[in-house]
Structure 1
Amino acid sequence: MGSVFTTVALPVALAIVMLGLGLGLSRADFERVLRHPKVTIVALACQILVLPAICFVLILAFGLPPILAVGMMLLAAAPGGTSANLFSHLFRGDVALNISLTAVNSVLALITLPVLVNLSIGYFGAGTAEVGTQAKTAVDVFVIVLLPVIVGMLLRSRRPAWADRMERPVRIASFAILVVVLLAAIATNWNLLAQEFGRLSVITVLFCLLSLTVGFAVPRLFGAPRRQAIATSFEIGIHNATLAIVVAQTVLGSTELSLPAAVYGVLMLPLAFAFGTLIRDRSVVRPGVV
């Protein structure tokens, strides 16, 4: 039963999530990035360089066991999740920029995720298989990350009206899938979670809050308008926990590696909501809205 869940159910679940992302994307979303080069470069630098460094320091400070340390670094390497777009819309961020950054980050993850996780495995000595950069592993990551996105984009380009109708139902299904995947990962690793919950909960809360703060404050320091900074905050601060869990269990073959992402996925939602209330763009006043 567990094997079926890992080899079939998890990849299918992620495919639905990434398909939903693709249904909301078009070529214009990638082109839009070129119109905001400064904020794009700053956001990507935070995502690819700053966050892994922060995560690494937290791991050392809390003395996580090797398997959980690599799991945390895998989470840090995961691009923004589809929930980032929802939070950006909710708190009046630049949703178009947010979607564009999500698209670019998903493409870059094909390279950055295997490299960062391999370095982490080498440093912490977790004793698990590497996510190699060789052709087979690159194909694995491409299939579970990018292929569903490409399919969704093709459907949007050829059947835009249908894609518009399906985007909301797929988004709702994606959220339900996220909840199921998180609960399954927690249930599978319940003994380890009970042993390490204290450290894992604190480190994931700190990592989430620091990620959100970096994503908002650094672009603002470089002159990004508030709405763009809100978008980058959620793009950088909300990682794709579902993707991290699927990579941990299907590519790396380790349920223990998925535990940090599962704990993060549960705690991230209320933290992101609370953070959003602090940074919300209050310059846009709507009738009946305080």
Structure 2
Amino acid sequence: MDLAAVTLPLALAVIMFGLGLGLTPADFRRVLARPKATVVALCCQMLLLPALCFGLVLAFGLTPVLAVGMMLVVASPGGTAANLFSHLYGGDVALNVTLTAVNSVLSVVTLPIVLNLSAQYFLGEGTELGLQFTKTLQVFAIVLIPVAVGMYVRARAPHFARRADRPVKIASVVILVLIIAGAALQERGNMLDYLRSTGPVALALLVLSLSVGYWVPRLAKVERGQAIASCMEIGLHNTTLAITIAMGILHNTEMAVPGATYGALMFFAAAVAGLFLRRATRTAPSAPAASESEHP
């Protein structure tokens, strides 16, 4: 467990540094330029999804620790993989970058709130699993500092940042796979029981996240490309962060299982959602599609 406390934050720092390499201050200023799509997506991710996840863990009867672990997943911001899937399926990648940047900053505040409230509800008053002030500072350090360093490197050495972007993204995927494998290995004796418990909840949460991420913006009259970006951003959580907090900061491997389960399923679910959205785009009437393109 001591090894996890060291290696997991370092691994996450690499991922967040890679995120920072792709960000500029303009990504944050873009919120003012397109507030509607950004605000709708952030409200879905930070308010609606935790409520839906809370209902799911109660409906499926998860054990208290696994329930907190699932709430930890839904409280984590979108991951860099959302940018890739958004690009593949016609989403507004600039909006993805903006949402990832803003949500990563806001999660330093919102994630401890969701985790503390979940721990108090499922584990009882006075639990020691909540993120207290010193552990909140750890979350701040492993989330924002690497992002800030990555942004600084991009500003000072843009050519290096462009060269490093692809290798760091590949390393991020490898790291995620290794972290999921490590969590599964540590809990291998209970893994089948955990998968039976968390698999259906994770799958239901994925379907809800991807659906909410697309249809709520569309109902709010957000154009299709931005809705696809929102769909991927809200569906693809930063499960590495959730697992790192569970294992590396809270020292609870069981709590990391929902993150590992969700991380193993989300790429498949996002690919299926993307194919569905692409087919829906091809069969949509040409007139509305044309009118949407006039309003970026």
Question: TM class by shorter-chain length?
Answer: over 0.9
Quote the offset at 1:40 in angstroms: 1.1
Equivalent residues in 2 for 1:104-183, closer than 5 Å:
104-125=102-123, 127-132=127-132, 134=133, 136-183=134-181
SS at match of 2:221: coil
Amino acid at match of 1:173: A
SS at match of 2:62: coil
Amino acid at match of 1:131: L
- Using the alignment, how far apart are the partners of 1:198 and 1:262 within structure 2? 13
- Using the alignment, how far apart are the partners of 2:211 and 2:167 within structure 1? 31
Quote the offset at 1:191 in angstroms: 2.3
Q: Residue 3 of structure 1 aligns with which residue?
A: 2
Does the 8 Å contact 1:70/1:257 carry over to 2? yes
SS at match of 2:49: helix
- Using the alignment, how far apart are the partners of 2:212 and 2:270 within structure 1? 13
Does the 8 Å contact 2:5/2:249 carry over to 1? no
Q: Residue 268 of structure 2 aligns with which residue?
A: 270
1:28 matched to 2:26: yes
SS at match of 2:190: helix
- Structure 1 runs not aligned, ≥5 long: 285-290
Does the 8 Å contact 1:15/1:145 carry over to 2? yes
Does the 8 Å contact 1:39/1:224 carry over to 2? yes
Deviates most, 112-121 or 7-16: 7-16
Quote the offset at 1:130 in angstroms: 1.4
Identical-residue share of aligned pairs (%) = 51
1:63 matched to 2:43: no
- Structure 2 runs not aligned, ≥5 long: 290-296
1:239 matched to 2:237: yes
1:227 matched to 2:210: no
SS at match of 1:224: coil
State the Cα deviation string for residues 242-283 of structure 1 (Å, max 9, x = none): 000001112212111100000110011111101011113548
State the Cα deviation string for residues 1-33 of structure 1 (Å, max 9, x = none): x421x1221111101111111000000111111
Amino acid at match of 2:42: L
Quote the offset at 1:137 in angstroms: 2.7
State the Cα deviation string for residues 137-174 of structure 1 (Å, max 9, x = none): 33211111111111000000000111011101100111
Quote the offset at 1:128 in angstroms: 4.3
Deviates most, 113-122 or 136-145: 136-145
- Using the alignment, how far apart are the partners of 1:129 and 1:195 within structure 2? 22
- Using the alignment, how far apart are the partners of 2:84 and 2:112 within structure 1? 27
- Using the alignment, how far apart are the partners of 2:151 and 2:277 within structure 1? 31
Q: Residue 38 of structure 1 aligns with which residue?
A: 36
State the Cα deviation string for residues 70-126 of structure 1 (Å, max 9, x = none): 000000100001111111111110000101100000000000000000000000016
SS at match of 1:279: helix
Does the 8 Å contact 1:186/1:263 carry over to 2? no
Q: Residue 217 of structure 1 aligns with which residue?
A: 215
- Using the alignment, how far apart are the partners of 2:128 and 2:224 within structure 1? 42
Quote the offset at 1:131 in angstroms: 0.4
SS at match of 2:131: coil
Quote the offset at 1:193 in angstroms: 2.0
Equivalent residues in 2 for 1:199-210, closer than 5 Å:
199-210=197-208
Q: Residue 50 of structure 1 aligns with which residue?
A: 48
1:254 pairs, out of 233, 252, 255, with 252
